A and B are shown apart, each in its own frame.
Chain A
Amino acid sequence: MKKKYFLNANIIDPQNSIDEVGGLIIGENGLIEAVGKKVNTNNIPSREKYIDLKGKHLIPGIVDMRVFVGEPGFEYKENFRTLSEASLSGGVTSVVTMPNTNPIVDNVSIVDFLKRRGRDKAKINIYPTASLTKNLEGTNMTEFGLLQAKGIVGFTDGYKTIQNTRLMSRIMRSAYDLNCLVMQHVEDKELAKDGMVNDGIISTKLGLQGISDLAEKIIIERDLTLLEDFNCRYHISQISSLKSLDVIKKRKESVEFTCGVSINNLSLNENDIGDFRTFLKLSPPLRTEDDRLALIKGVNNDLIDVIVSDHKPEDEEQKRLTFAQAATGASGIETLLPLALELYHNESLKLNKIIKALTCNPAKILKINKGNLSIGNDADFCVLDINKPWLVKKENLISKSKNTSIEGRKLQGKVTNTFVKGEELFKS
């Protein structure tokens, strides 16, 4: 690989506190050789060509901590190749995949398959998680230690919650012994039973079973109570409500944990469901505008560490049903960054904060050396035109499934180039 030189970009790398106009040099080995304002025409041999990124932003490749991929078992929804292409177009260079596949990622043998497929078919970095319990049944733990040794970065039952309190305490103890990351989808099953949307005036009007925000709060309170005694690496996958945030704020002083939020819950509210739009049937559900505003504040106050796409590809047949029958979830990996930039453009969040929640924060929780532009690291980054206006149209989406929650939305900001290990793999 030839050396590559980029100059005059607005470089933002929260991990290394870089927020300045400067350049980037990629070595022949695909690693970052130099970065920042010190990199200018004087550092570049006169015979070498450089790329002028004046007016553009250059940020570390995004680390998306919550992604459902259809492989194995549901390749018609998304496979590693289509996921990789979709991710690259959105500036995402590392994804954490959920274990809710068929077969389920709950034993060592499937991990080898995943890693091989991921390596052969995906150009981005794939970090698989395994389930907390065998067959996602919520009764018996998986082999955390052996799975982690095979390269599993974290453990979660995906869109299922560990309901059994005794099991949860044992999971935490094992995770403590083996230094494993536990990621919990927080929802009390019985309280949320048959629920489809936020419990409130919208559920009453639409005649749909509601999901109370208490269902989320109760599991968070339970888990954080357990965590006081069994202190493991614990991450709340996503929260959706003001009430949850209040609990988190109180508990932050006494226990150590981290917390994520879906870009959907930061950008949409229950009113967007309108006339039974099944593409907005999500878990956790979209809640009120007050909840949405509180979540933004939560990101601002560092109570929420991570923003995820919660990318859940579903084919249209699963969405062209009544609301009760329709599948849950939205495709969103390629719109994660542009939709997050909306929060910058409307002055809800600082740019640095957004990038942090999309890059180094998730990487630190996962203990992977990604989401930064440190010298000597893989040159995983993307270049974006932060002001470029565009319209989300499902037919233009790259992901195999087109179930976007933001069809027709006018966004501002688009990725123009994405690099993985110094190689340009996407160019718009």
Chain B
Amino acid sequence: MANVNKAIKISQKHLLGIQDLSISDVNFILSEAKQFIDLNKSKNKKLDVLRGKTQINLFFEPSTRTQSSFELAGKRLGADVMSMNLNNSAIKKGETLIDTAMTLNAMHPDIIVVRHQDSGASNLLSQKVNCAVLNAGDGRREHPTQALLDALTIIDRKEKIEGLKIAICGDIVHSRVARSNIYLLNMLGAEVNIIGPSNLMPKDIEKLGVKSFSDMKKGLKDCDIVMMLRLQNERMTSSFLSSNREYYEYYGLTPDKLDFAKDDALIMHPGPMNRGIEIDTNLADDINKSVIKEQVELGVAVRMACLKIFCE
């Protein structure tokens, strides 16, 4: 029966990116996720939906929240979860992504969650294994579950996404979160502003159906949601910015800049945060404005939904 539901309700075998999903796919995932929100707050959080299933978390890049979120989500659904951190082991021995994939495939997992530093890695993996692949972030390209949990958080607070004005600010060029969010928020009918210094803007970004601003105040004007991104210093190979101090001055979210957004604007951040660089530390913790903790909480629900839907 579960298989029949899957066939009807989701168009993809793998979750590689928001780009591949239809609006009904998205609505299906979000509605499944909503059911897990209350469960995650209750005393007994364990289900047996995925009992007997094997979930492998394959992380080629360090991650705390995404990895623990996926691990917890799998365990709460009753799956056997194995997490592998490959930042330094197999890769240093010269094993390629495909070799690793074939090795794991021989162990008959039901689902593989993968994070990799190269764009397109999850696509490559999905072509080589028999089970479903969930992309937990590939290079700069996509981070679909992050966008889905962001959407769920917005809907939870604002009841809808259609018609909202949403600003995504900061290091856009290196951000998979920005790309997935642009696709998803556009699909759900939001108006999206992209804000950042020109050096951190990808070429032709406006062709994705967004407006881009290098003046943060102009970009934030009348926004309902302000989504801040982490400055990804580890991906910067040459000089993009003069200093963190100057960046904070012009692109850090501070109360005076936030004033340009709507009074009831919400602040989001995918984490981990660089306090005092892209966001004022008090704003990040302001329970009236910041929904950063809620994002983490709903992240587990969204990942439970994705695991359930994509795991046969």
Chain A residues near B (Cβ < 8 Å): 190, 193-194, 199-201, 203-208, 210, 275-276, 317, 320-325
Binary contact readout B217-245 vs A (1 if CB under 8 angstroms, 0 otherwise): 00000000000000000000110000000
Question: Is B205 a contact of A323 with CB atoms below 8 Å?
Answer: no
Question: Is B204 a contact of A322 with CB atoms below 8 Å?
Answer: no
List the B side residues contacting A194 at CB < 8 Å.
237
List the A side residues contacting B49 at CB < 8 Å.
none
Interface-located stretch among B79-87, B135-143, B259-267, B289-297: B135-143
Question: Is A193 a contact of B138 with CB atoms below 8 Å?
Answer: no
**Out of B19, B118, B208, B238, which one reaches A322, CB within 8 Å?**
B118
Question: Is B202 a contact of A203 with CB atoms below 8 Å?
Answer: yes
18 A-B pairs with C-beta separation under 8 A: A193-B238, A194-B237, A199-B203, A200-B204, A201-B204, A203-B203, A204-B179, A204-B205, A205-B141, A205-B208, A206-B119, A206-B141, A207-B140, A210-B203, A276-B124, A321-B97, A324-B118, A325-B118
Chain B nearest Cβ from A420, distance in angstroms:
40
Question: Is B120 a contact of A323 with CB atoms below 8 Å?
Answer: yes
List the B side residues contacting A207 at CB < 8 Å.
119-120, 138-142, 176, 179
List the B side residues contacting A206 at CB < 8 Å.
119-120, 141
Question: Is B124 a contact of A322 with CB atoms below 8 Å?
Answer: yes
Question: Is B123 a contact of A204 with CB atoms below 8 Å?
Answer: no
List the A side residues contacting B41 at CB < 8 Å.
none
List the A side residues contacting B202 at CB < 8 Å.
203-204
Question: Is B203 a contact of A204 with CB atoms below 8 Å?
Answer: yes
Indicate if B187 sits at the interface (CB-CB under 8 A). no
List the B side residues contacting A323 at CB < 8 Å.
118-120
Closest to B140 in A: A207
Closest to B96 in A: A321
Question: Is B97 a contact of A275 with CB atoms below 8 Å?
Answer: no
Chain A nearest Cβ from B16, distance in angstroms:
9
Closest to B98 in A: A320
List the A side residues contacting B139 at CB < 8 Å.
207-208, 324
Chain A nearest Cβ from B14, distance in angstroms:
12
Question: Is B120 a contact of A276 with CB atoms below 8 Å?
Answer: yes
A201 to B207, CA, bound (A): 7
List the B side residues contacting A203 at CB < 8 Å.
202-203
Closest to B206 in A: A201
A199 to B207, CA, bound (A): 13
List the A side residues contacting B138 at CB < 8 Å.
207
Question: Shortest 6 CB-CB distances between A and B: which pairs?
Answer: A207-B141, A207-B140, A207-B119, A276-B120, A322-B118, A204-B202
Indicate if B10 sits at the interface (CB-CB under 8 A). no
Closest to A324 in B: B118
Indicate if B154 sits at the interface (CB-CB under 8 A). no
Question: Is B119 a contact of A275 with CB atoms below 8 Å?
Answer: no
A190 to B237, CA, bound (A): 11
List the A side residues contacting B140 at CB < 8 Å.
207-208
A200 to B207, CA, bound (A): 10
List the B side residues contacting A321 at CB < 8 Å.
96-98, 124
Chain A nearest Cβ from B197, distance in angstroms:
16
From 130 to 184 in chain B, residues with beta carbon under 8 angstroms from any chain A beta carbon are 138-142, 176, 179
Indicate if B33 sits at the interface (CB-CB under 8 A). no
A276 to B140, CA, bound (A): 13
A322 to B139, CA, bound (A): 10
List the A side residues contacting B75 at CB < 8 Å.
none
A420 to B120, CA, bound (A): 45
Chain A nearest Cβ from B155, distance in angstroms:
26
Q: Which of B97, B124, B140, B179 has the most CB of A within 10 A?
A: B124
Closest to B124 in A: A322
Question: Is A322 a contact of B141 with CB atoms below 8 Å?
Answer: no
Binary contact readout B296-312 vs A (1 if CB under 8 angstroms, 0 otherwise): 00000000000000000
List the A side residues contacting B97 at CB < 8 Å.
321-322
A120 to B97, CA, bound (A): 40
A275 to B141, CA, bound (A): 12
List the A side residues contacting B205 at CB < 8 Å.
204
List the A side residues contacting B176 at CB < 8 Å.
207
Closest to A325 in B: B118
A203 to B201, CA, bound (A): 12
Chain B nearest Cβ from A304, distance in angstroms:
26
Indicate if B129 sits at the interface (CB-CB under 8 A). no
Question: Is B121 a contact of A322 with CB atoms below 8 Å?
Answer: yes
Chain A nearest Cβ from B253, distance in angstroms:
24
List the B side residues contacting A325 at CB < 8 Å.
96, 118
Indicate if B116 sits at the interface (CB-CB under 8 A). yes
**Out of A204, A208, A210, A320, which one reaches B208, CB within 8 Å?**
A204
A201 to B209, CA, bound (A): 12
Q: Which of A200, A204, A275, A321 has the most CB of B within 10 A?
A: A204
List the B side residues contacting A324 at CB < 8 Å.
118-119, 139
Closest to A277 in B: B120
A200 to B206, CA, bound (A): 11
Binary contact readout B93-107 vs A (1 if CB under 8 angstroms, 0 otherwise): 000111000000000
Chain A nearest Cβ from B107, distance in angstroms:
21
Question: Is A322 a contact of B120 with CB atoms below 8 Å?
Answer: yes
Q: Which of B96, B120, B139 has the most CB of A within 10 A?
A: B120
Question: Is A320 a contact of B118 with CB atoms below 8 Å?
Answer: no
A323 to B202, CA, bound (A): 18
Question: Is B207 a contact of A208 with CB atoms below 8 Å?
Answer: no
A323 to B116, CA, bound (A): 12
Binary contact readout B188-215 vs A (1 if CB under 8 angstroms, 0 otherwise): 0000000000000011110110000000
Chain B nearest Cβ from A281, distance in angstroms:
11
List the A side residues contacting B119 at CB < 8 Å.
206-208, 276, 322-324
Closest to A194 in B: B237
